[in-house]
């Protein structure tokens, strides 16, 4: 059940599952997604962990504010949410944009981090021209103009064909994204340059990537792994960008194993 709370001066939608006294995990979603993107992953954690997931600024039921946004601002939102929920330290799990937010917190708020799980993400996202094209489509056609291309980047063709019910849920999630929220967050991703920042991250870190991810590639994940000193590297085969939905069992196994190793 989603709740709403004011953090970092905006209204944020969030949901908590798992035991009150469990070690806290915060989960941060990708661009054009809401906290429901983690539905297939929660039950693998909630026997032990207190899982807090939330809608990023401009997404889902969280407040849309005027742009531009930055990864720093989005990270401040998550730290602000931790503050109002009175969580001093947590395991942070982020996918794509969520992973970029978690990188920033790992580098700039190290005392708040028990571990980082950086999934299907990157520390920079060139080329700029690619983003300008997507912004033009969003402004002229709405989010619907980005739908098909996004689905094809997020999932392999076999999964799209054989899991229509999952794809339908994802389609609805994408289409529910406000255009201004998309433009604000996508601008933050476009302008991000975090590779040198990775050297500051000292928390135990798992870098996980779908082998066939065209959006945040194995090469980009390798940069994270090489520059974060305390990191492990996991590749999930036959998975594209949203590996947590395409291969939930493998994703959950790797995530749980990593969290237990930190504990």
Check residue 42 and give its pLDDT: 98
Q: pLDDT at position 258, please?
A: 98
Residue 156's alpha-carbon distances to 125, 151, 163, in angstroms, are 21, 9, 11
What six digits make up the tokens of 170? 């994802």
The predicted pLDDT at position 152 comes to 98
Distances (CA, A) of 43 to 85, 120, 181, 248: 22, 21, 29, 11
3-state SS string for the chain: CCEEEEECCEEEEEEEECCCCCCEEEEECCCCCCHHHHCCCHHHCCCCCEEEEECCCCCCCCCCCCCCCCHHHHHHHHHHHHHHCCCCCEEEEEECHHHHHHHHHHHHCHHHEEEEEEECCCCECCCHHHHHHHHHHHHHHCHHHHHHHHHHHHCCHHHHHHCHHHHHHHHHHHHCCCHHHHHHHHHHHHHCECCHHHHHCCCCEEEEEECCCCCCCHHHHHHHHHHCCCEEEEEECCCCCCHHHHCHHHHHHHHHHHHHHHC
User: What is the distance between the alpha carbons of residues 210 and 22, in angstroms, rounded to a whole number?
Assistant: 29
pLDDT in tens, the chain (263 residues): 899 999 999 999 999 999 999 999 999 999 999 999 999 999 999 999 999 999 999 999 999 999 999 999 999 999 999 999 999 999 999 999 999 999 999 999 999 999 999 999 999 998 889 999 999 999 999 999 999 999 999 999 999 999 999 999 999 999 999 999 999 999 999 999 999 999 999 999 999 999 999 999 999 999 999 999 999 999 999 999 999 999 999 999 999 999 999 98
Cα(5)–Cα(14) distance, integer angstroms: 8
Distance CA 48, CA 103 (A): 25
Nearest Cα to Cα of residue 95 among 230, 196, 246: 246
- Full-model pTM: 0.98
Q: State how far the Cα of 219 lies from the Cα of 122, in Å rounded to an integer.
A: 9
* 207: β partners: 118, 233
Angle among Cα 29, 173, 207 to the nearest 5 degrees reads 25
Residue 126 is predicted with a pLDDT of 84
């Amino acid at each position: 059940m989603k709740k709403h709370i004011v953090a970092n001066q905006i209204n944020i939608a969030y949901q908590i599952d798992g035991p009150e006294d469990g070690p806290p995990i915060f989960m941060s979603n990708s661009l054009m997604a809401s906290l429901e993107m983690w539905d297939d992953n929660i039950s693998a954690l909630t026997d032990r962990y207190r899982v807090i997931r939330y809608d990023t600024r401009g997404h889902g039921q969280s407040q849309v504010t005027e742009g531009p946004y930055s990864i720093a601002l989005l990270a401040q939102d998550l730290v602000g949410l931790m503050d109002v929920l009175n969580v001093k330290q947590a395991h942070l799990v982020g996918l794509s944009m969520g992973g970029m937010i978690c990188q920033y917190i790992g580098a700039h708020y190290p005392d708040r981090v028990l571990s980082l799980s950086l999934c299907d993400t990157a520390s920079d996202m060139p080329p700029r021209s690619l983003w300008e094209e997507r912004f033009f489509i969003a402004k002229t056609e709405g989010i619907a103009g980005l739908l098909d291309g996004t689905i094809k980047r997020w999932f392999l063709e076999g999964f799209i064909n054989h899991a229509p019910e999952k794809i339908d849920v994802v389609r609805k999630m994408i289409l529910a994204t406000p255009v201004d929220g998309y433009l604000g967050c996508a601008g933050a991703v476009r302008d991000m340059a975090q590779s040198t920042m990775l050297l500051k991250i000292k928390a135990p870190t798992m870098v996980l990537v779908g082998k066939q991810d065209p959006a945040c590639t194995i090469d980009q994940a390798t940069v994270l792994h090489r520059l974060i000193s305390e990191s492990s590297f996991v590749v999930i085969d036959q998975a594209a960008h949203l590996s947590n939905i395409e291969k939930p069992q493998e994703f959950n196994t790797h995530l749980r194993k990593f969290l237990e190793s930190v504990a």
